[in-house]
Structure 1
Amino acid sequence: MRFSLRQLEVFIATARHENVSRAAADLAMSQSAASGALKDLESQFDVQLFDRRGKRLQLSELGVQLRPRAENLLAQARELEQALTGAEVAGRLQVGATLTIGNYLAVPMIADFRRRFPAADVALTVDNTEHIADKVAAFELDMGLVEGELNHPDLETRHWREDELQVFAAPDHPLAGRRRLTDRDLLGLEWIVRERGSGTRQTFDRAMHGILPDLNISLELPHTEAIKRAVEAGLGVGCLSQISLVEAFARGSLVPLAVPGRDFRRRLNLILHRDKFHSAALTEWLGLCEQSWADRLPGTDSRVAGSTEQGKQ
């Protein structure tokens, strides 16, 4: 064999960091050793894997084509190494999740996964849908759990579970006792919403079709808890996943507002790179995700869904 796994590791790390120095640090190598490994790999096959653009190294067209194969070959080699040591489900998974999923769904799933497979671990990256998709597409994450809709040529999207957004306000808001809100009511409110690029914002914008340009968006915040605190302080009304509001509704610090004329339903999805090798750990993690699809979070059906149904009567 004319190349080594170490050379492939340097190639992948350099593609990820677009810099040999950072790739070397990631692999605990000297910069000269990493540069030599990359140079040897290119010279052995008389190819150019990167285009040099100043201090950045961007994958060449050939490099882009070879990266998925190199990623998968390394993943299979790691799995073989784990099998030789007797650990069939081992290693570290890099999972991405959007804010609502990361804060309210992913953590108990990770705890369950660790109990089942002590030799394996899951590292969680929380970001908005757009950024998680970019990281999965770049092989920086093994898979993603997202709230938004995607149409990416390199990504496979699998329906995971249902969700629904809920409009809410502070208990002393003038409309808190209103049985249902009309479009005219919605236009008169000050809204505190998620930033563009998030799945929650995508669903909110779609639900508000026809009146969206005329809504008073007073604040855009990148964190669910910050939006809840701002609404509690009386700065406006919000619209977030029902999953994130269960405890606040139970405490009475926030109250749901019924908007029966708007459709806030959405799907939560799993995303994977189409060329991603499914290691034993990734396969088991996906199985756990599918198993949790039908699980219900305590309280969501009685406290949140019930308030929505009241508005539909």
Structure 2
Amino acid sequence: MRYTLRQLEVFLATAHFENVTKAADSLAMSQSAASGALKDLEQQFNFQLFDRIGKRLRVNDQGRNLRQKAEALMEQARELEMEMINPQSIGDLNLGATLTIGNYLAVDLVAEFMRQSPGAKVNMVVANTASIAMQVLNFDLDVGLVEGELVNSDLDVSHWRNDELVVFCSPNHPYAAKQSLADADLLAAEWILRETGSGTRQGFDRAMHGLLSSLWVKLELQHTEAIKRAVESGLGISCLSRISLEKAFERGDLVPLPVPHRDLHRAFYFILRKDKFRSAAIKRWLALCREQ
């Protein structure tokens, strides 16, 4: 074999950091050793993997093609190593979840996954849909759990479970006594919404088609709990996932507002790179999510 796994590790780290020094640090190597490994790999096969732009290295078309295959190969190599070290372990899992899923669903699922897989290490990133998708595409995350709909030729997007958005207000808001809201009510309200790029905002925008340009958006916030507190304080009304509001509704801190003529149903999705190696940990995680 004319290449080594170490050379591929250096290549993948350099592709990630776009800098040989940072790649070397991440692999506990000297900068010269990392540069040598990368140079040897390119010379052995007579191709260039990066375009040099100042101090940055940008993966070129040849490098992008190799990166996809190298990531899959390294995943299999790491899984094999883990099995040899500890036959009972299924390896590590790097997860991404959007805010609603991360705060209200994923933690319990992670706890159950670790209970079923003693010794497994799980890392979870919580961010909006756009950010999670980018990290999955960049091989930083194994699996993403997202609220927003995505169309990308490099992503495998599959349905996980259904969800519903709910318009709501504080008990002291004038709308709290209404049986339902008409379009005129929606247009007259002051809105506190999630930011553009979030799955919740995408679902809201779709449900409010024909009204968007005329809605009064008073605040845009990145965190669900901040929006709930702002609505409780009487700053306006909002629209979030029902799963994030159930306890507040039970306590009477917030009041649901029916909008029967608007479709507020949506879905949650799994996202993975199509060329991502499905390790035992990934397969078990997906199975657990579907069971739950």
TM-score by length of 1: 0.91
Q: Which residue of 2 aligns with 1:239?
A: 239
Residue 23 of structure 1, CA deviation: 1.3
Output the CA distance in 2 between the equivalents of 1:237 and 1:30: 56
Residue 216 of structure 1, CA deviation: 0.2
Aligned residue pairs total 292
Residue 224 of structure 1, CA deviation: 0.6
Q: Which residue of 2 aligns with 1:145?
A: 145
Residue 122 of structure 1, CA deviation: 1.3
Residue 166 of structure 1, CA deviation: 0.5
Q: Which residue of 2 aligns with 1:296?
A: none
Give CA deviations for 1:91-141 in whole Å, capped at 9, x if unaligned. 221111111001111111111111111121211011111111111111111
Residue 85 of structure 1, CA deviation: 2.3
* Contact 2:168/2:239, CA 8 A, preserved across alignment: yes
5+ residue gaps, structure 2, are: none
**Counterpart of 2:144 in structure 1: which amino acid?**
G
Q: Which residue of 2 aligns with 1:87?
A: 87
TM-score by length of 2: 0.98
Q: Which residue of 2 aligns with 1:205?
A: 205
Give CA deviations for 1:61-111 in whole Å, capped at 9, x if unaligned. 100001111001111111111222243543221111111001111111111
SS in 2 for 1:204: helix
Output the CA distance in 1 between the equivalents of 2:195 and 2:92: 31
1:71 aligns to 2:71 (yes or no): yes
Q: Which residue of 2 aligns with 1:305?
A: none
Q: Matched residues, percent identical?
A: 61
1:126 aligns to 2:126 (yes or no): yes
1:49 aligns to 2:49 (yes or no): yes
Output the CA distance in 2 between the equivalents of 1:42 and 1:119: 38
RMSD: 1.0
SS in 1 for 2:11: helix
Output the CA distance in 1 between the equivalents of 2:225 and 2:28: 38
5+ residue gaps, structure 1, are: 293-313
* Contact 2:91/2:280, CA 8 A, preserved across alignment: no
* Contact 1:88/1:280, CA 8 A, preserved across alignment: no
Output the CA distance in 2 between the equivalents of 1:226 and 1:24: 40
Output the CA distance in 2 between the equivalents of 1:148 and 1:267: 8
Residue 262 of structure 1, CA deviation: 0.7
1:58 aligns to 2:58 (yes or no): yes
**Counterpart of 2:124 in structure 1: which amino acid?**
L
SS in 1 for 2:156: strand
Alignment of structure 1 residues 174-189 onto 2, 5 Å: 174-189=174-189
Output the CA distance in 1 between the equivalents of 2:249 and 2:128: 25
* Contact 2:193/2:201, CA 8 A, preserved across alignment: yes
1:164 aligns to 2:164 (yes or no): yes
Output the CA distance in 2 between the equivalents of 1:285 and 1:84: 21
**Counterpart of 1:291 in structure 2: which amino acid?**
E
* Contact 1:145/1:270, CA 8 A, preserved across alignment: yes
SS in 2 for 1:163: strand
**Counterpart of 2:4 in structure 1: which amino acid?**
S
1:109 aligns to 2:113 (yes or no): no
Give CA deviations for 1:150-195 in whole Å, capped at 9, x if unaligned. 1000001110000000001111001101111100011000000001
